[in-house]
Structure 1
Amino acid sequence: MNFHSMSVEELRTTRSDLQKRYDELCAAGLDLNLTRGKPGPDQLDLSNEMLSLPGEDFRSPSGTDCRNYGGVTGLPELREIFGELLGTGADRTLALGNASLEVMNDVTVFAMLHGTADSDRAWSAEPIKFLCPVPGYDRHFGITELYGIEMINVPMNPDGPDVEACAALVANDPSIKGMWLVPTYSNPTGYTVSEDVARKLLAMPAADDFRIYWDNAYAVHTLVERAPEPIPVLDIAEEVGNPNRVYVFGSTSKITFAGAGVAFFASSQANLDWYIKHISAATIGPDKLNQLRHLQFLRDADGVRAHMDRHRALIEPKFKLVLEILEERFADSKIASWTEPDGGYFISLDVIEGAAARTIELAEKAGISLTAAGSAFPYKKDPHDRNIRLAPTFPPIDELRTAMDGVATCALLGATEVLLGDE
């Protein structure tokens, strides 16, 4: 029954029934975790062959001795594979260390200290701001918060950020220097940016050193037969007269081993030269043996796609299960809505306004860990206290079923408390 149309007495009865169910949940002694979008052990097992690579075959196809120093731009053969998958081309794509988040941090620090290729002074010379599509990725927001960069919320729509809102903000404020964006199967909504929205973001008037951090972390992480073709953002940026506007990031972290992958950074030649100049003070080159074993294991872009099909076979049933439970437990009550992604690692759940923190608190007391309330917003402040990020991939499916049924109970109980004014 629709909670919003219940009488006070009906809500009290419903709350009492849910409280009994919740007490049983607490008595079960659960210890379940849905906090982070981690690959499950069975997904990691898909790449175990890499543990025996590269063996004694330590030279790349182009003859590089991967045991030695050098090659700050990474193995060209691996750059070719991910240049295709990211839509950036091998010549504009660098293969780096194990974490794309580290590269995002580095380019931010370099800009804070020295300015970008288009800056007339260091970003830190004055207060600066970033646009943050919400709900979004908490670790993005963590970087900008760490360096004292003011964050401005903009709505994330199914086809990408609210372009009109973004354009109005940057046109009138040259202190806005950056924007976070996960363009394909975004975190946590699973939304994918359309080419039309991308083109408008790349063309809108803004400061010369305004940068879009195009974090294509889930470019090939599809739950359907084929991931969308990557938008050629570097070509579009050049075409519209802002060739240096976009930084593209990617990695193999949820393709092979999450802690031992390869990160990629792609951009214009001016931006690559700027990045290489600064990173060369810190490294003589990336771990080319790790890059080589990825090359030997994945082989080519089609090899990556085939590997991701094996991932899909493992995680698609988990997403399907979560969506089935959400529909079964929430459809009649009308106290929640959720995304139904075609890829990525998350489902974004919106409960009744004012109930997210309470839902998460109830779940924690019942032994079910969820991402902290507000995590998908800058400063961890969800203005409506309704968003919960669900991460289905890591738990075994039986544990996932128990956890999600428990989360639904907590959300329903929290909703009755809100509607009754926690009398």
Structure 2
Amino acid sequence: MSADQLRDTQADLKKQYDTLCAAGLKLDLTRGKPGPDQLDLAEPLLSLPGAGNHVSPDGADCRNYGGLTGLPALREIFGELFGTGPDRIIAQDNASLRIMHDVTVFALLNGTPDSVRPWSQEHAHLGSPVKFLCPVPGYDRHFSITEHYGIEMINVPMTPHGPDPDVCAELVASDPAIKGMWVVPTYSNPSGYTVTEEVARRLAAMPAAAPDFRIYWDNAYAVHTLVEREPEVLPVLDYAAEAGNPNRFYVFGSTSKITFAGAGVAFLGSSKENLDWYARFQSVATIGPDKLNQLRHLLFLKDADGVRAHMARHRELIAPKFKLVLDILQERLGDSKIADWTEPEGGYFISFDVIDGTAKRTIALAEDAGIALTAAGSTFPYKNDPDDRNIRLAPTFPSLDELATAMDGVATCALLAATEKLLDRD
């Protein structure tokens, strides 16, 4: 458009925006939370295991102490779904994020089985702090853990096939201070990309200057499909063992977006040496997880196919929401060319890129109109998006009507911010 055309368009958008602000909206698209109807799917959990039904299939009384590694029958189910097998996975309490936090703290205080010294002492020996690779855009909760403990974060590009393996390999091979790497391998947060077998094998095999380099493989969305075709389960523990790096991966997952978000079961999969290491320190903090909750999940889900069937019911509820968002983005923004977005086949998010330098402005406009979006920069370490363009959209929690109103408003805000930026250039 010419400058005059842009000014006319901006004037029309301002009228639309004033109408939006006058509507008194209060809509929230900030986090990937299950909607109330999704939580209702797991309502039968609340009546399980029931009186007199407290013994697990392996004969354990789930009311009592013990069982630090969790119920074997539940590990069987999720060992299949996460590609670890039942002998290389343990079941814990509700939050996989807590396990990620704990393995990081255990390494800082004690080192890993492959460490020369605790990670907290490395700065004095290496002349730099411990570092993690962070695929971007990525998951803000991951970055919060590493930032909180003073671990330096290094951006690496997230591609449709996974973290750029060439960039990762070059960095890891040359710097012994790089001790870890965050990855959401299936339907990544926020892009919805899935790591291919080729990239996974390269990450498993790449030489590392640090003998205790770890990949935090957060399989949070392993079964959260928006299409009938299931994603391939990558047995990364096998890939790493074959490459001579058996301790490289921590595989995380949970039932948080399968059953109840705050009352599920979390899992850690890894090599036997890593699991023994984790259990040694975890046993100081607890005598065992909530086995009654694990038992009720076992009784409710039954087996891996039961999980898949349950997730098909989730898909029926949320797939229309993702389609609605994509339809509105295409209808409102497709011709303008002021934004790009991903079209995920699973997970909980859509990655939305606006014109460089306008993400903060778009989000601020939306906030003033009563539409809450994830804060600008949240998908990057230190909340610093160097191009100020990425916005994470979370379609799952609002109703369809609320979502339609919110996304139409977001589109108006993105267009208005774009006209401001383009006219400012002129």
Specify which of 354, 367, 374 is matched with residue 357 of structure 2: 354
Question: What amino acid is aligned across from residue 323 of structure 1 in structure 2?
Answer: L
Q: Report whether the alignment pairs 1:142 with 2:138.
A: no
- The CA deviation string for residues 33-92 of structure 1, in whole angstroms up to 9 with x for no partner, is 000000000000000000000012000011110000000000000000000000000000
Where 1:73 maps in the other structure, the secondary structure is coil
2:23 corresponding residue in structure 1:
28
Q: Work out the CA distance in 2 between the residues paired with 1:401 and 1:153.
A: 34
Alpha-carbon distance, 1:227 to partner = 2.0
**1:74 corresponding residue in structure 2:** 70
1:124-174 CA distances to partner (integer Å, 9 max, x unpaired)?
112110000000000000000000000000000000001100111111101
Aligned partner of 1:253: which letter?
S
Question: What does residue 104 of structure 1 align with?
Answer: 100
**Separation of aligned partners in 2, 1:296 and 1:313:** 23
Q: Counterpart in 2 of 1:3?
A: none
Mapped to 2, the partners of 1:28 and 1:367 lie a distance apart of: 9
CA distance in 2, matches of 1:22, 1:99: 40
Following superposition of structure 1 onto structure 2, how do residues 47-196 of structure 1 map, counting pairs within 5 Å?
47-56=42-51, 57-125=53-121, 126=123, 127-196=129-198
Partner of 1:311: 314
State the match for 2:204 in structure 1.
202
Distance between the aligned counterparts of 2:411 and 2:425, measured in 1?
Answer: 19
The structural deviation recorded for 1:203 is: 0.6
Match of 2:263 among 245, 248, 260: 260
Distance, in Å, in 1 between the alignment partners of 2:336 and 2:249 is 43
Letter in 1 for 2:132: F
Q: How many angstroms does 1:196 deviate by?
A: 0.3
Q: Which residue of 2 aligns with 1:219?
A: 222
Structure 2 portions without partners, runs of 5+? 124-128
Amino acid at match of 1:43: Q
- Deviations, residues 363-410 of structure 1 (Å, cap 9, x unaligned): 000000000000000000001000000000000000000000000000
Distance 1:114 1:44 in 2: 39
State the match for 1:394 in structure 2. Answer: 397
Amino acid in structure 2 at the alignment position of 1:176: I
Secondary structure class of the residue paired with 1:193: coil
Q: Please provide the CA RMSD for this pair.
A: 0.7
The one-letter code matched in structure 2 to 1:131 is L
TM-score scaled by structure 2? 0.98
Alignment of 1:417 with 2:392, yes or no, is: no
In 1, the alpha carbon distance for the partners of 2:220 and 2:404 equals 27
Query: Equivalent residue of 2:100, what SS?
Result: helix
Give the number of aligned pairs: 418
What does 1:224-373 correspond to in 2, within 5 Å? 224-373=227-376
> What are the equivalent positions in structure 2 for 1:36-51 lying under 5 Å apart?
36-51=31-46
Residue type of the partner of 2:373?
A: L
* 1:376 corresponds to which of 370, 376, 379: 379
More divergent stretch after superposition (220-229 vs 277-286): 220-229
Deviation at 1:226, TM superposition (A): 2.7
SS in 1 for 2:329: helix
**Partner of 2:8 in structure 1?**
13
Quote the Cα distance in structure 1 between the aligned partners of 2:383 and 2:418.
21
3-state SS of 1:281 partner: helix
Q: What is the CA-CA distance between 1:422 and the residue it aligns to?
A: 7.7
1:185-233 residue CA offsets vs partner (Å, 9 max, x unmatched):
0000000000000000111111110000000000000001032121000
Structure 1 residue aligned with 2:126: none
- Farther-moved stretch of structure 1 (285-294 vs 226-235): 226-235
Cα distance in 1 for partners of 2:11, 2:231 equals 47
Distance across 1 between alignment mates of 2:119 and 2:57: 41
* Residue identity matched to 1:249: F
Separation in structure 2 between the aligned mates of residue 23 and residue 386 of structure 1, nearest angstrom:
24
Distance 2:312 2:335 in 1: 35
Q: Which amino acid in structure 2 is aligned with residue 21 of structure 1? A: Q
CA distance in 2, matches of 1:412, 1:288: 51
Once the 2 structures are TM-superposed, how far is the Cα of residue 421 of structure 1 from its aligned partner? 1.0
Q: Secondary structure at the match of 2:74?
A: helix
- Report percent identity of matched pairs: 76
Three-state SS of the structure 2 residue aligned to 1:151 is strand
* Structure 1 residue runs without a partner (length 5+): 1-5
Task: Name the aligned partner's letter for residue 142 of structure 2.
Answer: H
